[in-house]
A and B are shown apart, each in its own frame.
Chain A
Amino acid sequence: AQSVTQLDSHVSVSEGTPVLLRCNYSSSYSPSLFWYVQHPNKGLQLLLKYTSAATLVKGINGFEAEFKKSETSFHLTKPSAHMSDAAEYFCVVSDLNTGNQFYFGTGTSLTVIP
């Protein structure tokens, strides 16, 4: 069975410091992995996606994520947090070999302290 675990429900960082949001998944095959961001009163917006090309994926707004198959992880990072990064972040996995479904993590709320 597929699952996605976002290891931290809340993360606080100071403005200008690095951001690390952790995501682990279970998948029996080659998954597609996504990170989305949700700002208050908005829908989810795609930050980046991994679909079996390069393992280091660059996204919008300076975010990137590294696919590590041996660790079944897809952590999201950013070198320097900005106040506008404060939002909810969702890790999502799908695996076409085990059925058509998106599996959502429970989300990580990022707070950026000025």
Chain B
Amino acid sequence: DAGVIQSPRHEVTEMGQEVTLRCKPISGHDYLFWYRQTMMRGLELLIYFNNNVPIDDSGMPEDRFSAKMPNASFSTLKIQPSEPRDSAVYFCASSPRGFDQPQHFGDGTRLSIL
């Protein structure tokens, strides 16, 4: 099992640019989560999907953030336009069934907005 795969691992871009983060969950997992981790706020849940459908996006900070899951093996998190305060590590995680099951995390994308 390859685990949850995120790309890119590192992204440095200038303010105002569009950023796209990618995630491939573990095959057969029905749930996919996007998190943001910063020193100030710790781990924050941004959005999660069940069977490719967005269920709760209340953690998405503002309209500049959007997430899609076009199929069971791929999800994207997009920031447009990006701002320096978006700098963080973004994690994707997947889970077999739901909230009584552990999550499997990718190694994250470290995003720096200059």
Contacts and interface: CB of A to CB of B under 8 A. Distances in A.
A49 interface: yes
Contact count band on A: 20 to 34
Contact count band on B: 10 to 19
Interface stretch (B14-22, B60-68, B72-80, B93-101): B93-101
Nearest to B6: A43
A101 B93 CA distance: 14
B45 A102 contact: yes
Contact of A42 (B43, B56, B107): B107
B99 A44 contact: no
B107 A104 contact: no
Contacts of A90: 43
Contact of A44 (B56, B98, B100, B103): B103
A58 to B, nearest CB: 15
Given A43-B4, A43-B93, A43-B108, A100 B99 contact: yes
Contacts of B110: 41
Interface in B69-114: 91, 93, 98-100, 102-108, 110
A104 B103 CA distance: 12
Interface of A: 32, 34, 36, 41-46, 49, 51, 90, 94, 96, 100-102, 104, 106-107
Interface of B: 4, 42-43, 45, 55-56, 91, 93, 98-100, 102-108, 110
5 contacts: A41-B107, A90-B43, A96-B98, A96-B99, A104-B43
